[in-house]
């Protein structure tokens, strides 16, 4: 197997004939990056390791569904972000805390949490209205903390093009958020 091929070329040429070898090469290329992305989102090394394995299982199962509408790395990072966000959401729903006899629940705090959850849901809807490339670009910048120059290198475009795409994507999210907030 030619491991110097681009991800997309390798998937196109080797996945039908050598799926395990193709996946192994992709795993070696991206395992550390996926782990770091998970770790940056959840801040727990053990969970990040578990999530990395879960994500690669998903990728292995879904690799045939990769349609090259974006680069493989963009597709992969979208899966990573969605998986981590889903797990964070699930953990929040399932988090249990002990209530002592002398502790009191604060209704304003629960209302504030409800309002924040509503705002977060509106933001998710707004983000999901964007194209996958726009979502990934925003996530690379604001969730992963990549610099404009790093994103430019990743996409093989100029820094000013990255800035403009980020600006347009942010504006779309703000517009959709405002629209959803009025409903």
Mean pLDDT of the 150-156 span = 84
Nearest of 9, 42, 39 to residue 26 by alpha carbon: 9
pLDDT value at residue 95: 58
pLDDT value at residue 110: 60
Nearest of 136, 123, 115 to residue 37 by alpha carbon: 136
pLDDT value at residue 163: 92
Give tens-digit pLDDT for 94-138: 755 444 444 454 445 566 777 777 777 777 788 888 888 888 888
Class of domain 109-183: mainly alpha
- Percent of the chain, pLDDT > 70? 89
pLDDT value at residue 158: 92
For the question of whether the overall pTM of this predicted structure is more than 0.85, the answer is: no
Give tens-digit pLDDT for 98-108: 444 444 544 45
Mean pLDDT of the 56-62 span = 88
Mean pLDDT of the 66-88 span = 88
- Percent of the chain, pLDDT > 90? 20
**Strand, coil or helix: what is 64?**
helix
- Per the listing, tokens 């405002």 go with 178
Nearest of 50, 68, 70 to residue 134 by alpha carbon: 70
CB atoms under 10 Å from CB of 139, counted, come to 21
The CATH classification number of 1-93 equals 1.10.1740.10
Rg of the chain, C-alpha, whole Å? 19
Mean pLDDT, rounded, of the chain: 82
pLDDT value at residue 41: 85
Domains of the chain, residue spans: 1-93, 109-183
State how far the Cα of 59 lies from the Cα of 75, in Å rounded to an integer: 10
Alpha helices in the chain (DSSP H): 7-14, 19-42, 45-62, 72-94, 107-128, 132-142, 148-155, 159-182
State how far the Cα of 46 lies from the Cα of 83, in Å rounded to an integer: 15
pLDDT value at residue 133: 83
As given in the structure block, the two tokens for residue 58 are 């998903």
Nearest of 98, 88, 34 to residue 60 by alpha carbon: 34
Mean pLDDT of the 155-176 span = 89
């Amino acid at each position: 197997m030619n491991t110097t091929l681009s991800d997309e070329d390798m998937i196109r040429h080797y996945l039908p004939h050598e799926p395990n070898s193709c996946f192994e090469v992709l795993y070696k290329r991206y395992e550390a990056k996926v782990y770091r992305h998970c770790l940056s989102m959840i801040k727990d090394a053990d969970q990040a390791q578990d999530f990395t394995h879960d994500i690669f299982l998903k990728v292995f199962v879904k690799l045939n569904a990769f349609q090259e509408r974006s680069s493989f790395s963009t597709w992969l990072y979208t899966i990573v972000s969605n998986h981590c966000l889903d797990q964070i959401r699930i953990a929040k729903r399932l988090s249990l805390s002990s209530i002592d006899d002398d502790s009191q629940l604060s209704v304003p705090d629960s209302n504030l949490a409800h309002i924040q959850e509503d705002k977060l849901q509106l933001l998710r809807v707004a983000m999901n209205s964007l194209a996958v490339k726009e979502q990934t670009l925003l996530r690379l910048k604001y969730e992963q903390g990549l610099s404009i120059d790093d994103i430019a290198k990743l996409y093989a475009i100029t820094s000013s093009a990255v800035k403009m795409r980020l600006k347009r994507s942010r504006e779309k999210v703000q517009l959709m958020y405002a629209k959803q907030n009025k409903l």
